[in-house]
Amino acid sequence: MPVFAAEDYGPEQIAVRYKSYTRAGTSGFVQAYRDILANAGPAFGEILRHLSQPDAEPTACVFHCTAGKDRTGLLAALLLSLAGVSDSVIAEEYSLTDVGLAPLREQFVERLLKNPVLEGDEVGVRNMVSSKRENMLASLEMIDDEFEGREGYMRKWCGLGDEEIEVLKRRLRA
């Protein structure tokens, strides 16, 4: 389920679109994640509706993206929120992505530094490929402030109804 269905969204194109990631602090990630969420509603909605089929037996589900931290991290955060997981734990889980991506980090950095938009900005690129706890905490706050909360996002942007959200909650908390 591509979030940006009409665009090529390989690592080089991500670099151009999300140069804001390279900024120090949380503002660049919040800006990038706001853009993802503004575009992800249809894709996230389809995934969430699939998981909330009332008559279907729950099964395992795998979801991922290029690096497995941004689009994947946001969807995981939404699901964990429905499961009743605290923001602190969600952010800690997100930060573990740094551990998982460690073997590929230098390859990502090398590739991104070849992009003319990012060339010479090694500090910024290293920030871009990071998964800092504070970035997720700030992004969760942004969702609550700008997207009417996590469930509000699922209703308004993903098109889920109350019953679908309740099915997800029951399944995720079981």
pLDDT at 137: 98
Residue 19 has pLDDT above 90, yes or no: no
More confident of the two residues 22 and 71: 71
Confidence of residue 174 (pLDDT cuts 50, 70, 90): confident
HEC sequence for 131-163: CCHHHHHHHHHHHHHHCCHHHHHHHHCCCCCHH
Domains of the chain: 11-173 (3.90.190.10)
* CA atoms in the 13 A half-sphere facing the CB of 83: 15
Q: In the predicted model, what is the mean pLDDT of residues 65-86?
A: 92
Q: What is the pLDDT of residues 26-72, one digit of tens each?
A: 998 999 899 899 989 999 999 999 999 877 777 778 887 777 889 99
Angle between helices 27-51 and 133-146 (to 10 degrees): 70
Closest by CA to 49, choosing from 171, 143, 173, is 171
Q: Is it the case that residue 8 has pLDDT exceeding 60?
A: no
pLDDT higher than threshold 60 for residue 7? no
Q: What is the pTM of this model?
A: 0.88
Mean pLDDT of 138-146: 98
Per-residue pLDDT of 84-140, as tens digits, reads 999 999 999 999 999 999 999 999 999 989 888 888 999 999 998 999 999 999 999
Q: Residue 57's pLDDT is what?
A: 77
- Whole-number pLDDT of residue 168: 94
